[in-house]
Amino acid sequence: MTTDQQASIQGGLFGEEPLTAKPADEARISQIRDFIRLYDFQYYVQDAPTVSDNEYDGLFRELQALEAKHPNLVTPDSPTQRVGGSPVKAFSSITHRVAMLSLNNAFGDDELNAFDKRVREGLGINQVEYAVEPKFDGLAITLTYENGYFTQGATRGDGYTGEDVTHNLKTIRSIPQRLNIQNPPKLLEVRGEVLMFKSDFEFLNQQQITRGDKVFANPRNAAAGSLRQLDPNITATRPLSFFAYGLGASEGVPHLLTHSACMDYLESLRLPVCDLRAVVSGAGGLSGFFEKVGALRSALAYDIDGVVYKVNSLAYQNELGFVSRAPRWAIAHKFPAEEALTVVEGIDVQVGRTGAITPVARLKPVFVGGVTVTNATLHNEDEMRRKDVRIGDTVSIRRAGDVIPEVVSVMLNMRPSNALIFTMPSNCPVCGSHISRQEDEAVARCTGGISCKAQRKQAMIHFASRKAMDIEGFGDKLVDQLVDGDLANNLADIYRLDFNTLASLDRMAEKSAQNILDALIKSKKTTLARFIYALGIRNVGEATAKDLARYFGSVEAIQNADVDQLQQVPDVGPIVAESIVNFFAEQHNREVIASLVKPAEEGGSGIHWDAVIAQSGASGVLSGKTLVLTGSLPTLGREDAKALIEKAGGKVSGSVSKKTDFVVAGADAGSKLAKAQELNVNVIDETDLLRLLSEQ
């Protein structure tokens, strides 16, 4: 900023009187707020401060004094309201207006080229323009601005529901409380990443050491832990930063044609965006950007674990759509996982919730991928034998992001003469039951079932996890005590726990016991999809649980479905269907589920959810029909159109084939329309679709 510009600012913002003119208190409050917002933007976003700390602090103290004198003039967006607020007992849930879905990953040139080929073929063009940017290693969040004011912020959560961390986000000074625009949009959702810069992380850990507190393993863990503090005053002491990388729902935003235009728009609102972004063409442009960022990675002020490629045209993004839980128009290109050498000090086995017996290498501690690693999975007996891992070997360990560390290879030239071959046990080390292995499976399993405490423990930990029933504080150590003490032998027993039982456990004070009871009560209001996922049915993950809930609408319908009926659900094949049928064939499982959903006044746990309308569409007007959407649908919009089609029994596909019954073509329809005409598939418009749907 030039001297003349600085003098102009000091002479007054937005036509206000200069500082020396002593305006009325209300005008002065408005003036100081504008100064502080500008200085925060220059310091925290542009990294180019124009005033000294003393000048800034003086203005801030003056504002505090004036607001104390006139409390009626205090506004939610005032800089003084960033810090403080009362602690909360637990975060409430927020349903995202637009889902925050995850990205598929590419780990090499072959997968990158395959992505570009899929995009080109899907659009029917020879060259695609991509917006490219770093992939931050932090915590994904969404910010909601209404009429220009920051009103709510949430974590990504499971992509559909996140945690309300508004008060904590207000403490991050790079996040503006008010947008820098004269006529702000009615609604603007900003997607981005909360992270901690490397230098700030080192400073924070030095403070932790000075106070005798636990140090953080890496910047990502420090950022995530800081943002999820129940007391915003603690978050306010942590040096968190933010980068915006996209838009969610919006209303009143200018007509933007590309992702890069969206980023420019966010930057104009004084939202922090990364300057290491570009627009490139084709697979060659993607790999060139990847190499450039990879060379800069170690010198960056923040951690990244790859780069993100997005089709730049928003119209093309709309045409490509989504597959399962990820967009077809974007992908994350991950950097090669970090590796380090260490020694295998022992090998033992772990028992999973489905009885899977997994050999685990116990390692001499080694720092890799941002954390100290002491264990690494060997996956299964065949994999352990193939790599010839022995006790005493020096091995290469790999860890990428949150992936469980694994043994990559053995340094045979460093093998000691006394290295021991590990023999897999024939009986479960926890319950003593026989271990068996099916011919078509690589994994051996404990046959103990519910009698095996290890399986019970893992089932409870999964049931209480954040993406399942989300029971805050219900962790490994608590589950160990409950199962080992025979205080909880199945999932329904969790909800029979009382205050005295919990308070009597080791390291469980009265406050902690009450917090667990409160969390159990809160968890009883859930969704059908979460409940299905929480049951821990083999091969049923989050996405499949959502598909099952949407298709059948009730637990009863799912547990009474046969293999053929289950395979009518999108993405459910014979293996998954067989797993579901086998799970519900166990009378014990049915009894536990009945107890969980029975009302509390009838002696059950009282777990409940809002009614779900089954979308199997057995009698719907579009039953058994496959439709493809292309182009813009101004009346319905693509998401609402898809929901109505599925409700009517139809299936929405992302590509046109001979099996397609209808292609719904809107304005600016692309290659899918041409493909439909080539294959003589029925082409209808939005009006025709509405007419079809009205015939139900």
- Binding-site entries: 53-57, 102-103, 133, 156, 193, 310, 334, 428, 431, 452
- Are 130 and 310 in contact by the 8 Å Cβ rule? The answer is yes
From CA 101, how far away is CA 160, in angstroms rounded?
A: 8
From CA 694, how far away is CA 267, in angstroms rounded?
A: 45
Beta bridge pairs of residue 398: 339, 406
Residue ranges for the known binding site for Zn(2+) are 428, 431, 452
What are the distances in angstroms from CA 517 to CA 27, 75, 502? 50, 37, 9
Within 13 Å and on the Cβ side, how many CA atoms surround 199? 3
Residue ranges for the known binding site for NAD(+) are 53-57, 102-103, 133, 156, 193, 310, 334
Task: Label the pairing between strands 651-653 and 626-630.
Answer: parallel
From CA 239, how far away is CA 44, in angstroms rounded?
A: 11
From CA 668, how far away is CA 637, in angstroms rounded?
A: 14
From CA 51, how far away is CA 42, in angstroms rounded?
A: 10
Q: Is the dihedral of CA 178, 183, 186, 187 positive or negative?
A: negative
Q: Which of 414, 387, 412 is nearest to 398 (CA)?
A: 387
| 575: Cβ contacts below 8 Å, ≥ 6 apart | 539
What are the distances in angstroms from CA 404 to CA 230, 351, 360, 376, 551? 28, 16, 11, 7, 33
Q: Which of 153, 144, 330 is nearest to 251 (CA)?
A: 144
Instruction: For 169-234, give the secondary structure using H, E and C.
Output: HCCCCCCCCECCCCCCCCEEEEEEEEECCHHHHHHHHHHHHHHCCCCCCCHHHHHHHHHCCCCHHH
Helices (H), 212-306: 219-227, 232-235, 259-268, 282-296
From CA 573, how far away is CA 261, in angstroms rounded?
A: 41
**Alpha-carbon 526 to chain mean position:** 18
The phi and psi torsions of 600 (rounded to 5 degrees) equal -60, -35
List, by residue number, the catalytic residues.
135
At residue 296, the 3 state secondary structure works out as helix
Rg of the chain over CA atoms, in angstroms? 28
Position 324, amino acid: S
- Are 142 and 156 in contact by the 8 Å Cβ rule? The answer is yes
N-to-C CA span, the chain: 65
